[in-house]
């Protein structure tokens, strides 16, 4: 059984069902409507460290490339590359060091001059003198809505049962062999293994199972919390607009279906309590910055804005594995979940079907948060 049909749960359900496991996928809403829907969805291992976490994210990018031909990738896979601009001396020094480190880690990254940058992304407006530009050709982005629809359909085609709304909302969870799950419609379901992929709600579910405080996430619901982020969609974008991911010091942008651009800014300090007029001001500011950075936005206005929440483990690394003290319960919660879902789902399915303990997952076990760690026993 899999709880949560975001990009991670849908990927895990599709992998397990494809391996011949009988899967029930439980989703309290419709699939893909929570964090995964609003994600910037940038496939990258650009600033990820230490090395094992970099390698895991890099493997995540490759896993999507491998999956795309078999899952109608034309509908959701956009390996368009990423251009990044650095202007301040500190940012240029950081970029130089990062590009050197990444190439040393077998990651495609290089500095380019202004002419090559303009050839790669003709929509870029001329930047101030001294701007440094880096090009990351192996990066891209995913369109999560069509992707998740296809993953869920693939799981269903392999025999998975998909329960949504009240039939999919988990309200009670008893660990054990079998584990028992109650849904809001009153149904009682049993499973050999419950894989909890409920994003930022994973701690609520483990608390239902009587195991509190083992999945420490960065706070997301209190005023001033840093896990929420603002995403803004603007359009229409003319044909002169960008085709790639672009990161400047003030704005991150990428194309979005429907002739839109998807925008984020690192300094947009918002949370789930930010008043709407402030959100609208930020949204207008992001549009202004995008217009300064690229061409094609002369007619654009803000089409949509949303505060959405990063499921962020406190140490910045993924949390994946059997939950100590809760037999039959396995958790998977991570930031960078879009980049990671294809690879993590392979590893999780291998662990649960073959009983192996993938070395790649060793640094991410939930047991690292316990003072007296319990051995990790897969289900
Ligand atoms: C602003 C922003 C930008 C981001 N940018 C990137 C990026 O560029 N690249 C990247 O890789 N990642 C990025 N991320 C992170 C990435 O989007 C997330 O890590 C990923 O979407 C998490 O997916 P998920 O499936 O774990 O969670 P979700 O998509 O939140 O799915 C969890 C699901 O569980 C369901 N659920 C919860 N409780 C229950 C219950 N009791 N019963 C049944 N179902 C339940 C929810 O309804 C939901 O559908 C970004 C996130 C944000 C917020």
Tokens 């993590």 belong to 344
Q: What is the pLDDT of residues 299-344, one digit of tens each?
A: 999 999 999 999 999 999 999 999 999 999 999 999 999 999 999 9
Q: What are phi and psi of 6, to 5 degrees?
A: -85, -165
CA distance 153 to 295: 38
CA atoms within 13 A on the CB side of 70: 10
Q: Look up the pTM and report it.
A: 0.96
- CA 199 to ligand 1 center in whole angstroms: 5
> Is 266 in contact with 252 (CB distance < 8 Å)?
yes
Task: State whether residue 72 is helix, strand or coil.
Answer: coil
Q: What is the pLDDT of residue 295?
A: 98
In the numeric block, which tokens belong to residue 212? Answer: 């509190």
- 109-118: long-range contacts at Cβ-Cβ below 8 A with a sequence spacing of 24 or more? 109/46, 109/134, 109/135, 109/136, 110/134, 110/135, 111/135, 117/83
How far apart are the CA of 77 and the centre of ligand 1, in A?
Answer: 18
Residue 56 contacts residue 339 (beta carbons within 8 Å):
no
Compute, in angstroms, the gap from residue 312 CA to the centroid of ligand 1: 10
Q: Which residues contact 140 (CB under 8 A, 6 or more apart)?
A: 42, 43, 61, 77, 78, 79, 80, 81, 82, 245
Closest CA to 211 of 310, 328, 315: 328
DSSP H or E run through 292: helix 276-293
| Number of the ligand 1 atom closest to the C-alpha atom of 264 | 1
pLDDT at residue number 176:
97
Give me the tens of pLDDT residue by residue for the chain, a chain 379 residues long. 999 999 999 999 999 999 999 999 999 999 999 999 999 999 999 999 999 999 999 999 999 999 999 999 999 999 999 999 999 999 999 999 999 999 999 999 999 999 999 999 999 999 889 999 999 999 999 999 999 999 999 999 999 999 999 999 999 999 999 999 999 999 999 999 999 999 999 999 999 999 988 899 999 999 999 999 999 999 999 999 999 999 999 999 999 999 999 999 999 999 999 999 999 999 999 999 999 999 999 999 999 999 999 999 999 999 999 999 999 999 999 999 999 999 999 999 999 999 889 999 999 999 999 864 444 444 3
Q: Coil, helix or strand for 227?
A: coil
Which residue ranges have their beta carbon within 6 Å of ligand 1?
A: 3-9, 26-29, 33-36, 39-42, 168-170, 197-199, 201, 205, 229, 231, 264, 308-311, 334-339
Give me the count of residues in the chain: 379
| pLDDT (0 to 100) of residue 139 | 98
pLDDT of residue 379: 34
Cα–Cα distances in angstroms (integers) from residue 9 to residues 244, 282, 343, in the given order: 28, 32, 12
Residue 204 in tokens: 């609520």
């Amino acid at each position: 059984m899999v709880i949560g049909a975001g990009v991670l749960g849908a990927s895990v359900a599709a992998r397990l069902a494809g391996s011949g496991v009988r899967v029930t996928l439980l989703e309290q809403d419709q699939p893909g409507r929570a964090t995964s829907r609003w994600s910037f969805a940038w496939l990258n291992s650009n600033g990820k460290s230490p090395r094992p976490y970099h390698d895991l994210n890099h493997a995540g990018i490759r896993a999507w490339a491998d999956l795309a031909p078999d899952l109608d990738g034309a509908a959701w896979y956009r390996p368009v590359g990423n251009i990044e601009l650095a202007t301040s001396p500190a940012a240029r020094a950081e970029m130089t060091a990062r590009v050197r480190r990444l190439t040393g880690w077998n990651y495609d990254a290089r500095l380019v001059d202004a002419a090559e940058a303009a050839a790669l992304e003709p929509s870029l407006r001329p930047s101030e003198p001294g701007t440094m530009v880096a090009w990351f050709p192996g990066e891209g982005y995913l369109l999560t809505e069509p992707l998740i629809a296809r993953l869920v359909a693939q799981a269903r085609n392999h025999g998975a049962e998909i329960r949504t709304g009240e039939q999919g909302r988990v309200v009670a969870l008893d660990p054990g062999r079998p584990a028992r799950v109650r849904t809001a419609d009153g149904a009682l379901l049993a499973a050999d293994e419950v894989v909890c992929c409920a994003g930022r709600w994973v701690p609520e579910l483990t608390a239902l199972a009587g195991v509190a405080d083992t999945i420490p996430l960065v706070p997301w619901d209190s005023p001033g919390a840093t896990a929420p982020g603002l995403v803004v969609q603007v359009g229409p974008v003319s044909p002169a607009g960008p085709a790639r991911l672009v990161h400047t010091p003030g704005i991150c942008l990428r194309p979005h279906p429907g002739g839109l651009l998807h925008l984020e800014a690192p300094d947009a300090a918002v949370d789930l309590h930010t008043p709407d007029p402030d959100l609208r001001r930020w949204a207008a500011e992001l549009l202004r910055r995008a217009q300064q950075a690229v061409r094609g936005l002369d007619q654009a206005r803000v089409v949509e804005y949303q505060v959405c929440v990063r499921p962020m483990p406190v140490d910045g690394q993924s949390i994946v594995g059997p939950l100590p003290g809760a037999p039959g319960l396995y958790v998977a919660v991570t930031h960078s979940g879009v980049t990671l879902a294809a690879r993590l789902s392979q590893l999780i399915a291998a662990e649960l079907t073959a009983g192996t303990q993938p070395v790649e997952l060793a640094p991410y076990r939930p047991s690292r948060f316990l003072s007296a760690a319990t051995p990790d026993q897969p289900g």
